Structure 1
């Protein structure tokens, strides 16, 4: 069953803005190096090429649509461009002796903010350490085979890697917390299905796609029969167990692309994506049979639930989601009237 939009995606915008700030900070530091310490730039053309490459990358990653979705792709381009820019600028300003080398902290922090995964930070730190040895090899009178060079490189890179690992752990916990909050806000506490507000948002999204691509979909309303009688005779705990069993049966009956929600009280609603009238009727029958096939044990008594089902299809029945839900509700009431024995 499809759920509401993942909460982790809500933090990607923050990561994108943070990475942009880090890129602009790197550009600013490079420009200040030119402006106030020009003697330290031994290869001006290479330094200009590094800053130009980073500037182009910033614009390119935000203009080309293919690099913007998913945002993780844009983050990867941003972090790669940062590492390349810092490496080239370091070569242009003294290689291993460059004041720019500590700026490798910036892509490490960017990776932690963007992905929130400690192992990504560790892999990136290993790659940057390899670049550190490359810078050492390009620096005159520096022997990268000595323990002194290794200790020096470690003292420069390890603090940044440690900070990035802490940030990655915090971001990972934040993602988990945001996801839990989103789940609580979008689901029904009793059944675990979506609540009505979240369902209506997804229904509107599916309706727009159906209109654009000419695809059908079906709305199904399910009503639990005689739930009020169960609550009165056996208690509300029994009624809650029945609702949970019905929700589980609905979940088993639908496809992973479909969406189920609790309307409230004893009613549920299901969105069957890309389902015509015949498929909607088949899945509705499956829901009814699966509910009836299950039982709930309450105080050594087995309760078998029954449901009434009504469907409405787009575009065959109506053109608007609200109308489809109303029509499905009316068809469900007709189904209930037909199945009840006359008094």
Structure 2
């Protein structure tokens, strides 16, 4: 389960993946904007005769690289290093273009800002600062290779003002993206967690259970579904108040969290009903786990009924397994509670 310092659920709840997918379209648009600006410049002002062939080749190669990446969908699995490659390729292309035209003293020296914006949107503050440092090195290289002299008041002011703008824009965009991501994380926690117990809620459990079921089908490995329902919660609420009932629910939730593995899903499914999904665990393993849980609450006032169903032994659909586990839980409840029933057993097992 997620820690207090990170409210996001694990598995498919991945904010960085969402961020990458969200900004990928913007990345290609920035790259194609760069291509259009360079093309417009070459059409409007023409290109120097000596470097015309190399410049056109670089333009076609860069556009082809961006187009190929957009069609192959490189960014499906948090491959942030590929995003970094795009920004470094962009810086290299801009540097080549400036070297082939009027250098950093020309009207398009600010094209580096596109690379800074791209990095700030997708890679964060540290990567953006590193790229601004690389751009500063490219400035020095272009001055060294060109005819202009860096150590003049006008050129020093040009370089200093451009780099300052790059730093400010990069930092502000990175900070804005971070703030948006934090807001999304909090909203996601509110949408996926039960506010009383901190466990997953029903919606999150259903979403997270599906890929585990699909993986079990592909690998032909078992998993178990466990349904737990508290016995006598209404009596606690009526006799001791709802605060006492809430404390009992929180106590049970904590015990479930403590006995579960990091790969297990634990959720409050609604009211006094909890559900667990245990990957790579058959019915015997799930039953043993629940028997240990019953031992741990023997000296407490907690009382609950448990039902177990396993894939593929008791069904091949997620909904079917939940229904079987729920039915087994009601058999435990009908037999007096504080018991574990497995779907294919005629009588529930009473813990001794």
**1:330 lines up with 2:327 in the alignment:** yes
**Partners of 2:17 and 2:77 within 8 A in 1:** no
TM-score, scaled to structure 2: 0.86
**Partners of 1:108 and 1:121 within 8 A in 2:** yes
**Partners of 1:206 and 1:273 within 8 A in 2:** yes
Distance 1:340-1:313 versus aligned 2 partners, 3 A rule: closer
Structure 1 SS opposite 2:197 = coil
Which of 96, 112, 133 is 2:120 aligned to? 112
**Distance in 1 separating the partners of 2:148 and 2:129:** 30
Greater percentage in helix = 1
Q: CA deviation at 1:155?
A: 1.1
**Distance in 1 separating the partners of 2:235 and 2:153:** 81
Which of 130, 135, 147 is 1:140 aligned to? 147
Match of 1:129 in 2: 136
**Distance in 2 separating the partners of 1:135 and 1:188:** 58
Measured against aligned partners, the alpha-carbon deviations of 1:40-89 in whole angstroms (never above 9, x if no partner) come to 57511232232123212213323456664324233223212211111111
Q: CA deviation at 1:8?
A: 4.0
**Distance in 2 separating the partners of 1:290 and 1:41:** 83
Q: CA deviation at 1:335?
A: 2.1
**Partners of 1:41 and 1:93 within 8 A in 2:** no
Match of 1:17 in 2: 25
**Distance in 2 separating the partners of 1:65 and 1:215:** 31
Match of 1:89 in 2: 97
**1:253 lines up with 2:259 in the alignment:** yes
Which of 65, 69, 73 is 2:81 aligned to? 73
Q: CA deviation at 1:334?
A: 1.8
Structure 2: segments with no counterpart, 5+ residues: 2-8, 339-352
User: Taking CA–CA contacts closer than 8 Å with sequence separation of 6 or more, which of the two structures ends up with the larger relative contact order?
Assistant: 1
**Distance in 1 separating the partners of 2:58 and 2:291:** 64
Distance 1:290-1:158 versus aligned 2 partners, 3 A rule: farther
**Partners of 1:6 and 1:179 within 8 A in 2:** no
Structure 1 SS opposite 2:267 = strand
Structure 2 SS opposite 1:188 = coil
TM-score, scaled to structure 1: 0.89
Structure 1 SS opposite 2:305 = strand
Aligned residues: 330
Q: CA deviation at 1:234?
A: 0.7
Structure 1 SS opposite 2:335 = helix
**Distance in 2 separating the partners of 1:66 and 1:118:** 23
**Distance in 2 separating the partners of 1:292 and 1:155:** 72
Match of 2:311 in 1: 314
In angstroms, what is the RMSD of aligned CA positions? 2.2
Q: CA deviation at 1:254?
A: 0.8
**Distance in 2 separating the partners of 1:156 and 1:340:** 73
Measured against aligned partners, the alpha-carbon deviations of 1:216-236 in whole angstroms (never above 9, x if no partner) come to 111111112211111111100
Structure 1 SS opposite 2:196 = coil
Match of 1:166 in 2: 172
Structure 1: segments with no counterpart, 5+ residues: 296-303
